[in-house]
Structure 1
Amino acid sequence: MSTVVADIAALLDSCRAGAAASDTTRAIARLADSLTQAGEQPDLSSLQAPIEGIRSDYAGYFRRETELYRLLQTAQRLLGTAALEELLAVIVEATRDLIGSQVAHLNLVDRGEQFSTIRATTGARTETFRLQHTPAGAGFTGLVLRLRSPYVTKDYLSDPAIEHDPSGDASVRADHLVTMAGAPMLDKQEPLGVLMVSWRRPVSVTDEQVDLLTSLASLAAVAVSAARRHEEARRSRIALEEANENFSRVNSQLEWGAQAHDRLLALLLPGTGIDAVAETMNELLGAKAAVLDPQGVLLAAAPLSWRPVIARGDLDRIAAGGRTAHVTGEGGAPLWAASAHSGGEPLAVLVVERDDLLDMEHLLLERAATATALLLATMHAISEAQFRSSADLVTDLVRGRRLDNVDRQAASLGLELSRPNVVLVTSTLSDRRRQTRSLFRGHAHRVGGLSGEIDGHLVAILPLADPHAAATDVATAFNEAGLLVAVGASGPATRPSDIEQHYAAALDCATAQDTLTGHGPATIDTLGFVGLLLANPDRAQLSDFVHRRVGALEEHDTDRHTSLIPTLEAYLDRDRSIRAAAQHLHVHTNTVQQRLQRIETLLDVDLHTTSSATELHLALRLRRLLRTMS
């Protein structure tokens, strides 16, 4: 009897364990054998059906338990995945694995519900299928979303319920798919997409598989919605961070702008120099800064050693414009520049060295240029007022007028006439007069002297003792600015009454230097024989010397309208080269040769001898100087 009980227990365990039907049949056969051995003749065939039902139920329980466990594992994987694309890949892999299909794929519809696109797939063999893109409402996806419920088709291509799309059918045909099942992914009835499985042969899809697919689709919908909300939250966070950064940046710019505004206003306070402009821009922009005049001459720089070099064409373009301009300086330096205008006239150019400027920094540079223009205009007005006072005094001194009162007036302007003073005079101004005046006046002001303008010549009285050094300093400044101006100097004068005499000497030196070279410094000592000429008050003797040597040529040129004097000058000035003289005079060499022969005849000299040529050359230079100074 115990054997019978044991066999019954084994049969029940087999059913409960969900054993296969063949195992259950063998268990019933063993029970029958045990009963026969016990003397019974049982007919156990009636037990087969109920026991099979029990076994099948238990097998279903085990299968669903396994599916639920795997579904739970899938849910855990989904919850641990935030990136949408990675999440979709997890969903299709789990779906294919749990249902046992050959292919699993997930179609999502766009927010405008215009198209559905395969966003993730596993098991597909062709790119045509993986890249499937069909209009919303068409194909298998459209049918499932319209039904809002699962749908199974044994043969996709021949199913009339499906609104077939050529591209969708082509992709199914390319991958040889036959049977399909799909379940909608809904978020509060909003269609997100469809989760689908498919086989490359006709199969019967069970209700359990459909239920599992539906559960997976619901789980996928929750996961996709969560991922989208997570992505939206991430984008919102990024947008909020960017907005916060923008706010902080704008706030910083406003604070910087307020500070910059205050600094620019400070430039207009009395006593501010042009150096303050460069220093302010250097500090506000963190860049090298400089102020140039319209010709490119440096007026101020920060740091002091910086010397920006801008091409002349670029400088003219900047000076003519009113907005910030980008130019390339010497050595490829990136420069930004703005012009300072007053009454339509360019006064200066403000330059900074930076790779780039923000919009507010562009505006700051332009406003700084405006402040620079106001500062320069104010300084110019003050300078003009001071210049008029000093110019009147200089005129009185060089004319020898009102000398009884000049000491006190000069002292009020900062000049002591009882100490050594040098008189400077320039040659007659021609071009770029404003710049020439500005440089000359600025130099006189820096050394504590007075300046004026008399008969087209700039005049300065400087508290210095060395006339040559004083003239050289001014001439060097002119030369660096590209100005061709001769500067004569005389002195020192220790009394107001000496200044008139030194003015006349300085004027003669400037005139002589202008005649000789057109520019540079000159004093009685540096002019050589010309200096001796200027120092000799009896010029009648010198005129007689000139007349004796070349007077016959002057008379011949006057009476017969010839050009013997110019020809002789060209010949002697060019080392007695007939060819060079002919080129200078624009005549043929034979013409020069004939004129020289005529000159030798008239003067009874031999131009090939050094002594004759030297004496005639000296006479011609004296003639030119005497005519200039007369």
Structure 2
Amino acid sequence: MSTVNPDDGSSDSDALAVLELLAREAPSSRFDELLRTARQHPLPQERLRMLERAVRLALDVRATAEQRRRREAGLATLVDTTQELSSCTDDLDGLLHVITSHARRLLNFDMAYVSLRLPGGGSYVHKSDGETTALSVGLELDPGFGLGEYAQSKQAPFWTADYLADGRFPHSPDIDEVVSSEGLHAVLAVPLIHGGAAIGALYGASREIRHFTPDEVSLMRSLAVLSASAIEATRRRARIETGLADVQSENVRLTSALARTDRLTATQKRLMDLVLEGGALHDVTKAAAEALDGTLVLRDAEGRTLAATGELPQPGAASVVRALVDSHAAGAPVRVSGDGGSGAWVTHVTTGVEAPGTLLFRRPVVPAQHRAPDLAPAPRSPQATASAASHPAPAAALDALTEEDKGLLYATAQTLALVLLLGHSAGAAAGPARDECLEELLAGAPESPRRLSERVRRLGIDPGGQHLVLIVRPEGGKQGESAVWASSYAYRHGGLKTVRGDCLVLLIPGTDASAAARAAAGELSPLLGQPVSVGSAGPTSELSAVGKVYQEARRCLDTLVALGRTGGTASPEDLGFLGLLLSDDHDADAFVHNALGAVLDYDSGRSTDLVRTLEAYFTAGGSPTRAAQQLHVHTNTVARRLDRITELLGPHWQEPARALEIQLALRLRRAQDAVYRRPGETRRAQADREA
């Protein structure tokens, strides 16, 4: 133990005592004890002053040495940090973890964290070390608030000994909440500068009031400089990896696209070869479906399936119409949305001589692990992979069509349209002979039934089948387009056509004249873009009666025009009693049956009296009460019978036009009873006799 010897009058011994303490790195208390001992003994004032000066110099030397050691330790730590930072440039999160943990140990902080700039201004806390709550990471720091924003705007370090009590900078409630929750007081913020711009800030914080020395601030700033360079290097590497992954992905995509283009060219050539070889719709559809690896269904404008390679659900009519319009506008296939579309793709099939058809396609959804190699995704960077994991692609996208697939599907639709058009042309090629045959049938030219049957059979017509006559008049010209359509329509339906004046005459198989007229008008009118009037009649199974049926259809068309209903359709059944008057055979029984058949059958099968109730109801002017008086029954009975009549005839039987037909039918029936029934014979007996 070094002491001052009062008996030794030399100051050298005092200096030696101080040097001995300094050499042993004695604590400050030992120096104080040395001075206290010296003051307790009577020493000369000059010697005491020399001793005090020696102690002060020793303490200064020790402080300088301590400061140098701390600086050297800090620099050594920076060197270690630099080496560790250089090994973490492939992962931004790992790099920031190294920065915050080293910053915390470097200056003995309780907590360290890093904020990075946001593109729109402000910043957010990306990483922290030493936190005790979950409030710091992810916290957004508004522009102009907090130490970090101030340090970044000035591009200089900024610190406070007690954050919440310091009013030199604007406070944010969110930041203050984190500082309070973590129990922080002293905070040092150093900007992260790279390329002359601030990219964020590095923070160190203590949970006690603390004043930072210039050396500490300088050391923190040096760490910030190294960190900024490492952060930008990591970001640059991530951008390079992302760009490389994009290039690789694009290379894979181009290679795959080239392969698909080659496949598209080969498939289109195969389809065209099938057409030139006379292939049918099914052949072309099957070949295209194999190339597209899916199911194809071709339907005409009326929804009938013309060719198919499998079963597909029928989308709703509204969805198909919308998709066809979009497909026509875009010149490409369109996915059916909603309404039972089930992910099908739709392409319009337009020949120019009939309403557009529909080509439906659907590819099964293939799980990603089962997809073909040429469709596998390219390698991706870790950052891109993480982004994809947070924003996964929908599973339904796996059955999406590439541009090459869409091109092949559209080409398939055009090829099928060509096949249909060739078929129509084949029908049109036989047009003169077919027109001549129908003209002779309409004119009633004398020819033996056997020769006539043989002639129509050669044209593909069943001589013993039921046939209808349709007279189609486009309201607005376009005779050429109408004639082409009529040839195609007759050929597709196994019938004949001819042109008479401004009208088209069709003889087609069928039994429902009204439905046939509506179908023809519904197909031709959209094609021409203008209304079409159609008169129809039949059916007839006698080729010799075609002329008579034609005249009846002509009168129906003329009646439409006379009634001002151009653009509509009509058959004798549609015209009601007018059809009865216009008919050559005046089939009153058919008229009565069409108007009252359901009621007559009900009365006959159940021995009810609904027909007589109808007569009384109309005679009473539509009053159930007066009708009940005539029938000598209760009013409720009449009401129940009228309800039953409504069930049989439909809810509109009392509307003026329908009620008029029912009354005419009742009068015709009464007249028939009076004319044909034998005197004294009941109606039931007459029916039995006629049976």
Same fold (TM over 0.5): yes
Paired residues for 1:275-424 under 5 Å: 275-303=282-310, 306=311, 309=314, 322=328, 324=333, 327=336, 333-343=342-352, 345-346=354-355, 348-354=357-363, 357-358=401-402, 361-362=405-406, 364-386=408-430, 388-389=432-433, 423-424=463-464
Could you tell me which amino acid in structure 2 is paired with residue 243 of structure 1?
E
Report 1:120-519 matches (<5 A). 120-122=127-129, 131=139, 133-135=141-143, 140-141=147-148, 144=151, 164-167=169-172, 174=180, 179-187=186-194, 189-199=196-206, 201-263=208-270, 265-266=272-273, 268-269=275-276, 271-303=278-310, 306=311, 309=314, 322=328, 324=333, 327=336, 333-343=342-352, 345-346=354-355, 348-354=357-363, 357-358=401-402, 361-362=405-406, 364-386=408-430, 388-389=432-433, 423-430=463-470, 488=541
Conserved 8 A contact 1:564-1:599: no
Alignment counterpart, residue 101 of structure 1, candidates 92, 104, 109: 109
Distance (whole Å) between structure 1 residues aligned to residue 597 and residue 430 of structure 2: 49
Tell me whether 173-182 or 367-376 shows the greater mean CA deviation: 173-182
Q: What letter corresponds to residue 165 of structure 1 in structure 2?
A: P
CA deviations on 1:397-435 (whole Å, 9 max, x unpaired) are: 9978799x99xx99xx997xxxxx984354332489999
Matches of 1:96 and 1:568, distance apart in 2:
102
1:463 alignment counterpart: none
User: Matches of 1:477 and 1:594 in 2, distance apart?
Assistant: 29
Q: CA deviation at 1:195?
A: 3.1
Share of identical aligned residues, percent? 20
Q: Which residue is 1:613 aligned to?
A: 687
Query: 1:16, 1:54 within 8 Å by CA — same for their partners in 2?
Result: no
What whole-Å deviation, never above 9, does each CA across 1:555-584 have from its counterpart, x for those lacking one? xxxxxxxx9998799999946846358689
Q: CA deviation at 1:592?
A: 8.5
Residues 14 and 23 in structure 1, CA contact (< 8 A), matched pair in contact too = yes
SS at match of 1:351: strand
Structure 2 Cα separation of the partners of residues 383 and 588 of structure 1: 46
CA RMSD, Structure 1 to Structure 2 (Å) = 6.2
* 1:382/1:54 CA distance change after superposition, 3 Å: same
Q: Is the 8 A contact 2:592 2:665 kept in 1?
A: no
Q: Do the aligned residues in 1 keep the contact of 2:319 with 2:341 (CA within 8 Å)?
A: no
1 CA distance for matches of 2:684 and 2:177? 111
1:493 aligned residue: none
Per the alignment, do residues 125 and 338 of structure 1 end up closer, same or farther by CA in structure 2, a change over 3 Å counting? closer
Secondary structure of the residue aligned to 1:424 is: coil
Give unpaired runs (5+ residues) of structure 1. Answer: 1-10, 28-42, 416-420, 445-449, 460-473, 490-502, 515-562, 619-630
Deviations 1:326-374 (A, max 9, x none): 5589976544333333446316332323565455545544444343333
CA contact (8 A) 2:320 2:336 kept: no
**Distance of 1:603 and 1:402 partners within structure 2:** 42
The count of aligned residue pairs is 490
Amino acid at match of 2:102: A
> Residues of 1 paired with 2:343 and 2:304: CA distance?
19
Give the Å deviation of 1:301: 2.0
Cα offset for 1:99? Answer: 1.0
> Separation in 1 of the partners of 2:154 and 2:292?
67
Distance 1:309 1:396, change over 3 A: same
Task: Label 1:71 to 1:363 Cα distance change in 2 as closer, same or farther (>3 A).
Answer: same
SS of the aligned residue for 1:262 comes to helix
User: Could you tell me the TM-score, scaled by structure 1's length?
Assistant: 0.56
Larger radius of gyration: 1
What amino acid is aligned across from residue 369 of structure 1 in structure 2? A
- Counterparts in 2 of 1:54-73, with a 5 A limit? 63=70, 66-68=73-75, 70-73=77-80
Query: Which amino acid is 2:296 matched to?
Result: A
Deviation at 1:92, TM superposition (A): 2.5
Aligned residues of 2:281 and 2:307 also touching (Cα < 8 A): yes
AA matched with 1:374: L
Note the alpha carbon deviations across 1:45-69, whole angstroms, 9 max, x for none: 9998888788767766765565455
- Tell me the alpha carbon deviations over residues 302-325 of structure 1, each in whole angstroms, 9 at most, x when there is no partner: 24xx47646667677778883556
* Counterpart secondary structure, 1:429: strand
Q: Using the alignment, how far apart are the partners of 2:224 and 2:85 within structure 1? A: 12
What amino acid is the match of 2:427? Answer: S
Q: Deviations over 1:135-154 (max 9, x none)?
A: 46x86446656776656655
Q: Is the 8 A contact 1:293 1:347 kept in 2?
A: yes
Deviation, structure 1 residue 216? 2.2
1:586 aligned residue: 662
**In structure 2, distance between residues paired with 1:401 and 1:475:** 24
2:95 corresponds to which residue?
A: 87
Deviations 1:60-97 (A, max 9, x none): 67655654554455445434434334433432332222
Amino acid at match of 2:467: S
Which residue in the other structure is 2:478 paired with?
Answer: none
8 Å Cα contact 1:92/1:105 also seen in 2: yes
TM-score, normalized by length of structure 2? 0.52
In structure 1, distance between residues paired with 2:353 and 2:320: 16
Contact 1:134–1:165 (CA under 8 A) maintained in structure 2: no
Matches of 1:241 and 1:565 in 2, distance apart?
78
**Partner Cα separation in structure 1 for residue 424 and residue 163 of structure 2:** 93
The letter of the residue matching 2:662 is: H
Deviation at 1:173, TM superposition (A): 8.0
8 Å CA contact 1:132–1:167 kept in 2: the answer is no
